[in-house]
Amino acid sequence: MSVKGTIREIKIRLEQDEEVSDSFLEALQTDSRAGVRKLATSYIKKREARRREVERMDRMWRLEREYRRQGYQAIAGVDEAGRGPLAGPVVAAAVILPLGFDATGLNDSKKLSPEERESLRVRIERDAVAVGIGVADHRYIDEHNILQATYEAMRCAVADLSPAADCLLLDAVEVPELFLPQHPIVKGDALSHSIAAASVIAKTFRDRWMTAAGEKYPQYGFEKNMGYGTPDHLAALERWGTCPIHRKSFAPVRERDEKSRYLA
């Protein structure tokens, strides 16, 4: 038995209707045409994916709702980008999102494509209550170590917020000398929209910084590797040595410098 309509007509109907009746889907699943049954299976999978995404988006507001019930109003998510690279700064961002912010597609920045991150950056910067940026450069990293540099970048990002935050949600860290209520959350960039927004802002800011560095130091491919220790970057270090923005305290860079001094 077949549902009325050609396969093309049924496909168009399914594409146009986000929700169709269960009875219609059941009819499609028992249709004599394999193409129709395939359309039904694909639609059901997509509908289930949409349902899971709606649930995920709602769960990612849970922490913000909880702290609002406790009386906090300006809840800032804080996250960083660039702890692991061999070159460039570590960057932190703090973001206060408004009630009703359109968080469609927002997630841990590492799970997003560059295009998705850039689209989200525009939306966040346009609609956020406040966005703060903090940067600790390679010199600070070498002098104080990467953990202390990360803390400093986060303190600077929070201080850059206007209006100021009254509560912080952070991705698995608690920052010394930051005198606000802090709530470290393991895997927070996947559990809080505010932290995920900060992750996107920090990542896109740092990527733009490293892309500019790639124009200044083209032999290292910073615009592609963002300073991480990729095979091409390590090969460039071996060939060209270090440049001014390399982190001299990181082992691959330090070892290359030591080798250069030995050969000299």
Q: Which residue numbers belong to the known binding site? A: 79-80, 171
SS (H, E, C) the chain: CCCCCCHHHHHHHHHHCCCCCHHHHHHHHCCCCHHHHHHHHHHHHHHHHHHHHHHHHHHCCHHHHHHHHCCCCCEEEEEEECCCCCECCEEEEEEECCCCCCCCCCCCHHHCCHHHHHHHHHHHHHHCCEEEEEEECHHHHHHHCHHHHHHHHHHHHHHCCCCCCCEEEEECCCCCCCCCCEEEECCHHHCCHHHHHHHHHHHHHHHHHHHHHHHHCHHHCHHHHCCCCCHHHHHHHHHHCCCCCECCCCHHHHHHHHHHHHHC
Binding residue numbers for a divalent metal cation: 79-80, 171
